[in-house]
Structure formats: C-alpha cells, structure tokens
Amino acid sequence: MFSSQIIAQNCNSELKVLKNRNARSVAENDGTQFTFQLINNATSAQTYTIRTEMSNKVFKVKGKVPKRLGPNQNLTRTVLKNRAQIQYITVPAGATVTFQVQVTVPPNTPVNHWGGIDVTATSDMCPNNNISTLLRLYVSDASAE
C-alpha cells in the first residue's frame, strides 16, 4: 500500500490552457498561440513529453456539432517554451511551468471548418498516466476579413 501511495503522489499533474481559452479562430496567413500551464503536484521533479495530434473527438460549438476538417487535413502545430521549439519539459516538485502551442494553417486547408488538436503531457515517471486537453480551432477565410 505504501508504494501505491508514492506512485499516486508522483503521478499528480495538471495541464491547463491559460484562462480556459481552448477555442480560437485561425487563418492561413495568421496563426494563433495557446498558452498552457503544466502543474506538477508530485513530491519530485518530473520530465514530461509534450505531444500534439489532430483529434477526432466529437465536440460542440453553441450546442451543435460543427463542420470538421477531414482526416487528411492537418493544422501545423509547434510546442514552444521561451520561443524555442521543445518536446520535453522538466517541472520541479510543486511547481508550474508555462509553454505555448502555436498553430498555423497550411495552404489549401478548407475554410469555415473546425479542427481539434489533442495536447498531451506524459511524465517519464508515469507513462500510463497521460494528461491532455482538447484545443478547438475554427479555420476562417483570411480573404473575407
């Protein structure tokens, strides 16, 4: 029982989008950026792998399922900390680290469609305990703005 308490204490993390702003508009020549907080409530420092991937999770906008990007249509995602591209983040025990996910629209992406991106943090100490957040992006028509 003691060892399971240690595991539980070491796997206590949170991943939050700053101010809960997980939905944004993005256009082909005007990307957007989400700021995240990765919180390590564990008793020791942890290194996390940060992954982003297009999501097929169902979500609603104003109570309705929106028109979505197709399975072969991607939004470009880059994870940044202090303006440098990263894949790993080390968070001290009891601390919070901030990072960004930058999203851009590749040419020929359909406009007036929604895309979902899963942002996942996996601790090296807890590989089976992923924490994730869904970002929702509306691909707007830059020429109509």
List, for residues 19-66, the tens digit of each pLDDT value: 999 999 999 888 999 999 999 999 999 999 999 999 999 999 999 999
Q: For 20, how many CA atoms within 13 A lie in the half-sphere containing its CB?
A: 0
Q: How many CB atoms lie within 10 A of CB 26?
A: 20
6 has pLDDT over 90: no
Residue for token pair 């595991």: 7
Q: What is the pTM of this model?
A: 0.89
- Assign 23 to helix, strand or coil: strand
Q: What does the block give as tokens for 135?
A: 């970002």
What was the pLDDT predicted at 129? 84
Please, which pLDDT band fits residue 111 given cuts at 50, 70 and 90?
A: very high
What was the pLDDT predicted at 11? 83
> Of 37-46, 63-72, 95-104, 129-138, which range is least confident?
63-72
| CATH code assigned to 2-144 | 2.60.40.10
Most trustworthy range by pLDDT among 5-14, 54-63, 78-87, 125-134: 78-87
What was the pLDDT predicted at 9? 54
Residue ranges per structural domain of the chain = 2-144
